[in-house]
């Protein structure tokens, strides 16, 4: 049983922390009964604009048995800063990884706290990633291209004792999709069409 399901509730939780807890529990139960509803596909399209700058669009995804369109058609640029031969028109792609990590664990904290009947007052985090450009510049075969280490530090406050708040963060980390991908890796297939 998932820990999110074993919170010591007798009656259904009311919405809390801005989380519609009954909907959360209904979602868990729906996927439990019909596992195929849990199959999702996320998608991004990207277009090179010039130099090291490109723009991505995030518009639709599939899951829960159907196709979905985001309420907003999201668009994000990414670039290199001047010191890395770009024009700093967007963050570096590697910074978006850190944003994804913080946002994923934080979303889970909101959900898990609600499921456990804890009202949060604040959740803040800071993420740092160490990278040695000797890798991507091809100057040393001993240096990897990507981050060598990432650190994320959370500061959390709410109406529960420290150990309960701490356990919420820990449970969110243990169930985080982004934490899993970043720490364990994932197969990536690359295909190329020329025109």
The interface with a copy of itself within residues 66-95 (CB under 8 A) comprises: 68, 70-72, 74, 76, 78-81, 83-86, 88-95
165 binds a copy of itself (CB under 8 A): yes
Contact between 175 and a copy of itself per CB under 8 A: yes
CA 80 vs. chain centroid, Å, equals 22
Residue 5 Cβ vs a copy of itself, minimum distance, rounded to whole Å: 7
Site string for a copy of itself, 127-156 (x = CB under 8 A): xxxxxxxxxxxxxx--xxxxxxxxxxxxxx
| Burial (CB count <10 Å: 0-12, 13-18, 19+), residue 176 | buried
Binding to a copy of itself in span 36-55, by CB under 8 A = 37-48, 50-54
Between 8 and 41, CB nearer to a copy of itself: 41
Which residues does 165 contact at the CB level (< 8 Å), separation at least 6?
Answer: 118, 156, 157, 158
- Is 56 one of the binding residues for a copy of itself (CB under 8 A)? yes
- Judged by beta carbon, residue 10 or residue 33, the one nearer a copy of itself is 33
Give every CB contact of residue 41 below 8 A, 6+ residues apart in sequence. 61, 62, 63
Nearer to a copy of itself, 9 or 42 (CB): 42
The Cα–Cα gap between 145 and 185 comes to 14
CA pair distance 180, 173, nearest whole angstrom: 9
Beta carbon nearer to a copy of itself, 10 or 39: 39
User: Which two tokens mark 175?
Assistant: 């169930």
Task: Collapse the DSSP code of 139 into the 3-class scheme (helix H, G, I; strand E, B; otherwise coil) and give the result.
Answer: coil
For the bound state, the minimum distance from the C-beta of residue 33 to a copy of itself, rounded and expressed in Å, comes to 10
């Amino acid at each position: 049983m998932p820990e999110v399901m074993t919170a010591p509730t007798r009656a259904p939780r009311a919405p809390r922390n801005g989380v519609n807890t009954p909907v959360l529990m209904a979602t868990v139960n729906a996927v439990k009964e019909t596992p195929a509803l849990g199959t999702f596909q996320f998608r991004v399209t990207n277009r090179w604009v010039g130099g090291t700058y490109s723009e991505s669009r995030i518009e639709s995804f599939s899951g829960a048995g159907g196709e979905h369109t985001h309420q907003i058609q999201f668009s994000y640029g990414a670039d290199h800063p001047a010191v890395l031969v770009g024009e700093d028109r967007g963050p570096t792609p590697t910074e978006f990884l850190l944003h994804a990590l913080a946002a994923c664990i934080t979303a889970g904290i909101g959900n898990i706290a609600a499921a456990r009947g804890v009202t949060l007052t604040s959740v803040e985090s800071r993420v740092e990633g160490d990278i040695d450009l000797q890798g991507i510049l091809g100057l040393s075969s001993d240096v990897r291209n990507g981050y060598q280490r990432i650190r994320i530090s959370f500061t959390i406050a709410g109406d529960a004792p420290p150990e309960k708040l701490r356990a919420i963060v820990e449970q969110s980390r243990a169930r985080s999709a982004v934490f899993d991908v970043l720490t364990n890796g994932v197969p990536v297939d690359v295909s190329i069409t020329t025109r």
